Structure 1
Amino acid sequence: MSIQIPRGTQDLLPGTTEIWQYIEKTARDLCSRYQYKEIRTPIFEHTELFLRGVGDTTDIVQKEMYTFKDRGDRDLTLRPEGTAAVVRSYIENKMFGLPNQPVKLYYIGPMFRYERPQAGRFRQFVQFGIEALGSKDPAIDAEVLALAMGLYKELGLKKLKLVINSLGDKESRTAHRNALVDHFKPRIGEFCSDCQNRLEKNPLRILDCKKDRDHELMKTAPSILEYLNEESRTYFEKVQKYLTDIGIEFVVDPTLVRGLDYYNHTAFEIMSEAEGFGAITTLCGGGRYNGLAEEIGGPETPGIGFALSIERLIAALQAENVELPIEQGIDCYLVSLGDAAKDYSVKLAYDLRNAGFTVEKDYNDRKVKAQFKSADRLEAKFVAVLGDDELANGKINVKNMASGEQVEYELTSFVAEFKKLYA
């Protein structure tokens, strides 16, 4: 019996990895314009980080984490999300002491959650995310949203919907929490066991329940917007003003809550409205998490960020039939005829590659016709033909595959002459 890939994972093969590379490059270039710097954290962390950072009432912690003990009997977890690890690194490396604040970071890497695999959802998936740490200015909220929307638009997506909400500050959330408890408590027995457990611990999470989302009490639950104090309301209005000023359309949804416990003030999701994308339309989610740094042992540090799945981004591109402008083909294919020419083509390929060209040659002793077919499959712009007779005369023939034009060059100056073709 052959060994197969674990359920919920995928192999990314040549022909597909180029799409990923293009998306990652676009994300990195965009982050550079916004002055976000890359951070790389370990793939596994101490389990306590996610218990305290993500929240022990969340589905991620309760149901989805890959947790194990190492040989030192320490509890470790494959990271299920990126924010907690970035904030841990921010604290541990004392980035709060850097002269340039806020500290603006981005990451691209694999995350792990044990959940039912389905279209666009895997147990190992790749997230791109950003975190801005050290500013309470609502303008940074608008910047984070602009970067997220900007990435999707630069990649060619058009059918997008930005939904925002405010979860308020601690005072506002406490008032809203008490109202939610009063609202759900008389009939909490009609809800799932998870919601029953959340009633006292974190009633806001009830609003995010997938099983009971159609219950009548969900539709009449108190809105957080009714409980925002003046400071929280002013903050949220500022965020909306900035988004309007920079021309980003949005919808305010008072029922939007995020699945992680650390969010407060601004929360948001970006959704695909492409036809046939699927029942789960969320592409990206994020928000403000003032208080997370203190929760995991750091100084008071306001923060905001988002994370998006590369897999779901690609699914959205497919739903909108977006073709990324990925460069195809190679610069030159070397066709060799005869043993001496074949031997010489090894060095010639090396010299062309060192000169910056993409080059391939035959390694299977195929006949000339088969080598030309290989050049066609690789979409070679030029084919350089070298036989034993040409080698003896110090010549090489080059064919422009688009025009069909053929030119003979001196072998000793071929690399320099080839550069002129691309000048």
Structure 2
Amino acid sequence: MSIQIPRGTQDILPGTVEKWQLIEETAKEVCRKYLYEEIRTPIFEHTELFLRGVGDTTDIVQKEMYTFEDRGERSLTLRPEGTASVVRSFTENKMYGNANQPVKLYYIGPMFRYERPQKGRYRQFVQFGVEALGSMDPAIDAEVISLAMQIYKQLGLKKLKLVINSLGDNSSRAAHRTALINHFQPSIHEFCSDCQNRLEKNPLRILDCKKDRDHELMKTAPSILDYLNEESSLYFEKVKQYLSLMNIDFIVDPTLVRGLDYYNHTAFEIMSEAEGFGAITTLCGGGRYNGLVQEMGGPETPGIGFAFSVERLISALEAEGIEITQEQQIDCYVIALGEKAKDYSVTLLQSLRQAGFSAERDYLNRKMKAQFKAAERLNAKHVIILGEDELAAGKVAVKNLQSGDQVELPLENFINEYTTLSN
């Protein structure tokens, strides 16, 4: 019986992986311009981290985590998202004491959620994320949103929609929480079991329910914007002002709550409006989380961030018909004819690579015509032809596959001569 790949995972093969590499390089390049630095955290963490950091009322914690016991009977979980791990590392390594503040970080790596696989959604997926910790300036909220938009635009996406909301500070959320409980409680028996459980624990999460989103009470639910106190309202106005100054279009949606428990103040999503992208249009989500560092045992430290799935980004690019694969090309292909020439080609190939050239040779004992075809498939700039006669004469033929021009170069000083020719 053949062994197949687990459901909800994928092999990213040569020819496709280059697309992933370009996306990663683009995201990292944008982060460098914004002075965000890379952080790498473990793929698995203590389960308690996600119970406290993500929230025990979320679908992620309740239904989607891959949790196991190690040999020491410790409960560990494959990370379902990146923020909790970054905040844990920030706190554990006392990065709040760094000279440069706020601490601006980005990460990229595999995440794991047990959910129903569908187009652009996998059980193992790659997530890119950004976290800015240490500032309560609404300008950093706008900067984080701007960074996400810049990555998408630099990759060529045009059909984007930015949706923002404010979840307010603790007092605003408390007032809104009471209003939500009073609104839903008389008819909560009409809602799914998840919503019934959330009524007292976190009624805001009811608004994020996919099963009951068409219920009449959803349409008339109290808006968080009506319960923002003066401080929260002014903060939200500043975020909107800064986005406008940066010429970033946005829509305010008071029903946007995000799926994680740790958000407060600014929340946002970037969506694809490309035709054929699918029913789930969200590409990226993020927001502010001012109590998460304290929850991890650190000092009072505000933070804001976002994350997106690379798989969904690729789906959005495909929906807009954007091809981002870079043309692959090697510098030279060495064709060796005869045993002595083949032996010498090993040394020549090594010298070319050590000199910084991308080079290849035949390993299947093919004839000259087949080797030329192999060079063309690899899109080689030059073919280096080495035979018994060339070895005896101390010369080698170099053919430019684009122009068809062919020259002879001496073997004695070949690398220097070839470097001059390539330039």
TM-score range, shorter chain: over 0.9
Deviation, structure 1 residue 17:
1.1
Partners of 2:18 and 2:325 within 8 A in 1: no
Alignment of 1:98-247 (within 5 A): 98-247=98-247
Alignment of 1:11-50 (within 5 A): 11-50=11-50
Aligned-partner residue type, residue 352 of structure 1? L
- Say how many residue pairs are matched: 423
Partner of 1:3: 3
Partner of 2:374: 374
- Give the secondary-structure state (helix, strand or coil) at the position aligned to 2:404: coil
CA distance in 2 between counterparts of 1:228 and 1:264 reads 11
Partner of 1:87: 87
Alignment of 1:289-304 (within 5 A): 289-304=289-304
Give the gaps of 5 or more residues in structure 2. Answer: none
Aligned-partner residue type, residue 187 of structure 1? S
In the TM superposition, what whole-angstrom CA distance separates every residue of 1:156-198 from its partner, at most 9, and x where no partner exists? 1111111000000000000111111111111111110000110
Deviation, structure 1 residue 414:
2.1
Partner of 2:248: 248
Partners of 2:284 and 2:308 within 8 A in 1: yes
CA distance in 1 between counterparts of 2:325 and 2:418 reads 25
Partner of 1:347: 347
CA distance in 2 between counterparts of 1:299 and 1:258 reads 25
Give the gaps of 5 or more residues in structure 1. Answer: none
Deviation, structure 1 residue 420:
1.8
Partner of 1:71: 71
CA distance in 1 between counterparts of 2:147 and 2:419 reads 39
Aligned-partner residue type, residue 416 of structure 1? N
CA distance in 2 between counterparts of 1:216 and 1:182 reads 15
- Give the secondary-structure state (helix, strand or coil) at the position aligned to 1:380: coil
- Give the secondary-structure state (helix, strand or coil) at the position aligned to 2:270: strand
- Give the secondary-structure state (helix, strand or coil) at the position aligned to 1:168: coil
Partners of 2:409 and 2:418 within 8 A in 1: no
Distance 1:106 1:263, change over 3 A: same
Alignment of 1:253-264 (within 5 A): 253-264=253-264
CA distance in 2 between counterparts of 1:186 and 1:103 reads 46
CA distance in 2 between counterparts of 1:40 and 1:82 reads 10
- Give the secondary-structure state (helix, strand or coil) at the position aligned to 1:412: coil
CA distance in 1 between counterparts of 2:257 and 2:420 reads 59
Partners of 2:138 and 2:235 within 8 A in 1: yes
Partner of 1:320: 320
CA distance in 2 between counterparts of 1:226 and 1:421 reads 71
Aligned-partner residue type, residue 168 of structure 1? G
Aligned-partner residue type, residue 292 of structure 2? L
Partner of 1:273: 273
- Give the secondary-structure state (helix, strand or coil) at the position aligned to 1:130: strand
- Give the secondary-structure state (helix, strand or coil) at the position aligned to 2:413: helix
Deviation, structure 1 residue 254:
0.6
Partner of 2:285: 285
CA distance in 2 between counterparts of 1:29 and 1:377 reads 30
Deviation, structure 1 residue 416:
1.3
Which runs of at least 4 in structure 1 moved beyond 2 Å after TM superposition? none
In the TM superposition, what whole-angstrom CA distance separates every residue of 1:70-121 from its partner, at most 9, and x where no partner exists? 1111110000000000000001000011111110111000000000000000
Partner of 2:364: 364
CA distance in 1 between counterparts of 2:331 and 2:103 reads 42
Partners of 2:142 and 2:239 within 8 A in 1: yes
Partner of 1:53: 53
Partners of 2:236 and 2:265 within 8 A in 1: yes
Aligned-partner residue type, residue 362 of structure 1? D
Aligned-partner residue type, residue 192 of structure 2? C
Aligned-partner residue type, residue 321 of structure 1? G
CA distance in 2 between counterparts of 1:373 and 1:139 reads 56
Partners of 2:104 and 2:131 within 8 A in 1: yes
- Give the secondary-structure state (helix, strand or coil) at the position aligned to 1:30: helix
- Give the secondary-structure state (helix, strand or coil) at the position aligned to 2:346: helix
CA distance in 2 between counterparts of 1:413 and 1:282 reads 58
CA distance in 2 between counterparts of 1:92 and 1:414 reads 55
CA distance in 1 between counterparts of 2:418 and 2:118 reads 49
CA distance in 1 between counterparts of 2:254 and 2:147 reads 23
In the TM superposition, what whole-angstrom CA distance separates every residue of 1:369-416 from its partner, at most 9, and x where no partner exists? 110110111111111111111111111111111111111111122221
In the TM superposition, what whole-angstrom CA distance separates every residue of 1:316-370 from its partner, at most 9, and x where no partner exists? 1111111226131211011111011111111111111111111110011100011
RMSD: 0.8
In the TM superposition, what whole-angstrom CA distance separates every residue of 1:32-71 from its partner, at most 9, and x where no partner exists? 1111111101000000010011000000000000001111
Aligned-partner residue type, residue 40 of structure 1? R
Aligned-partner residue type, residue 185 of structure 1? Q
